[in-house]
A and B are shown apart, each in its own frame.
Chain A
Amino acid sequence: MHISVTPIWVILLATGISLHFVPLYTRPDLYFGVTVSPAFRRTGPARLLLRNYRVALWCLTVGALAAAGAFERAPVVLGVYLASVCATLVIAHRGAEKHRVDPVTSIEVDLAAPTERLPGGLLAVLLPFILLLGVGVWSVSYAVVAAPGAVIMRMVSIGLSCLVLTAIAFGVLHWSRRISASGPDAAGERSFRHRILLCLIACEYFLVLLAALSVLEAPRFVIVGSRAAFGVAMVAYVVTLIRAGQGGTRLSSAPHETVIGDRSPDNCWKGGLFYFNHRDRAIFVEKRMGIGYTLNFGSLWAWLLLGAIFAIPSGLHLMQPITTGARLNAAAAASPGTEASLRRYIDSLEGGHPNYDEMSPMLAAAVNRQLPTIMSTIRKLGEFKSLTYEGVDPNGSDVYDAMFVRGQLEWHIAPLSVDGKVTSRSFRPLR
Chain B
Amino acid sequence: MILRIDTSSETPVYRQIVDGMRVALVNGDLVPGNSLPAVRRLALDLGTHFNTVAQAYRELAREGWLDIGARSGARVIERRVTTTSKPKADASFRRRIEEIIAQMQAHGVTRSRLARELRLIAATLEDT
Q: Which residues of A contact B (CB under 8 A)?
A: 105-113, 174-178, 181-182, 263, 280-282
Contact = CB atoms under 8 A, between A and B. Distances in A.
B5 A281 contact: no
B36 interface: yes
Interface in B27-60: 30, 34, 36-37, 40-47, 49-50
Interface string B46-76: 1101100000000000000000000000000
B24 interface: yes
A105 B30 contact: no
A177 to B, nearest CB: 5
A281 B3 contact: no
Interface footprint category on B:
20 to 34
Given A263-B47, A281-B44, A281-B49, A109 B3 contact: yes
A111 B2 contact: yes
Contact of A112 (B34, B44, B47, B49): B34
B2 A110 contact: yes
10 contacts: A106-B4, A107-B47, A108-B4, A109-B42, A109-B45, A111-B37, A175-B44, A178-B45, A263-B47, A281-B49
A414 B79 CA distance: 75
By DSSP majority rule, is chain B's interface helix, strand, loop, or mixed? mixed
B11 to A, nearest CB: 12
Q: Which interface residue of A111, A263, A281 has the most chain B CB atoms within 10 A?
A: A111
A105 B10 CA distance: 12
B2 A107 contact: no
A280 B47 contact: yes
B8 interface: yes
B26 interface: no
B122 interface: no
Contacts of A175: 44
B48 to A, nearest CB: 8
Contact of B30 (A111, A113, A178, A181): A111
Contacts of A178: 45
Contacts of A281: 40, 43-44, 49-50
B7 A107 contact: yes
A189 to B, nearest CB: 11
A107 B4 contact: yes
B6 interface: yes
Q: 5 closest Cβ contacts across the A-B interface?
A: A105-B8, A111-B1, A105-B7, A106-B6, A109-B45
Contacts of A109: 2-3, 37, 42, 45-46
Contacts of A263: 47
Nearest to B36: A111
Nearest to B6: A106
Q: Which interface residue of A112, A174, A181, A280 has the most chain B CB atoms within 10 A?
A: A112
Contacts of A112: 1, 34
Contacts of B24: 111
Contacts of B7: 105-107
Interface in B89-106: none
